[in-house]
């Protein structure tokens, strides 16, 4: 089932439709990165984007280290 998630950037409201399970995850993280009930500037969006990509970078490094460990076994 699709759920609408909304965010206001530079005084313009953006709505996206996502699956319900992902919507719970997404809105939880959005509360940490944005003012979900107010306006956000592009700087906040860029900061959230960089934080998310750093988390992906860290996860990828950890996965590669685990793969190397498993290959040694």
Q: For 1-17, write each residue's pLDDT tens digit.
A: 999 999 999 999 999 99
- How many residues comprise the chain? 73
DSSP letter (8 states) at residue 4: E
Q: pTM for this one?
A: 0.81
Q: Which of 22, 21, 26, 25 is nearest to 6 (CA)?
A: 26
Q: What pLDDT was estimated at residue 12?
A: 97
Tokens of 59: 């996860």
Cα(69)–Cα(40) distance, rounded to whole angstroms?
43
Residues of the chain whose pLDDT is less than 70? Answer: none
Q: What pLDDT was estimated at residue 73?
A: 86
* CA distances in angstroms from 7 to 14, 38, 72, listed in the order given: 5, 8, 46
């Amino acid at each position: 089932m699709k759920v609408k998630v909304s965010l206001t950037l530079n005084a313009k409201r953006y709505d996206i439709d996502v699956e319900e399970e992902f919507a719970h995850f997404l809105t939880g993280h959005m509360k940490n990165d944005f003012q979900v009930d107010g306006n956000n500037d592009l700087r906040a969006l860029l900061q959230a984007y960089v934080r998310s990509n750093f988390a992906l970078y860290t996860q990828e490094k950890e996965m590669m280290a685990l793969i190397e460990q498993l290959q040694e076994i």
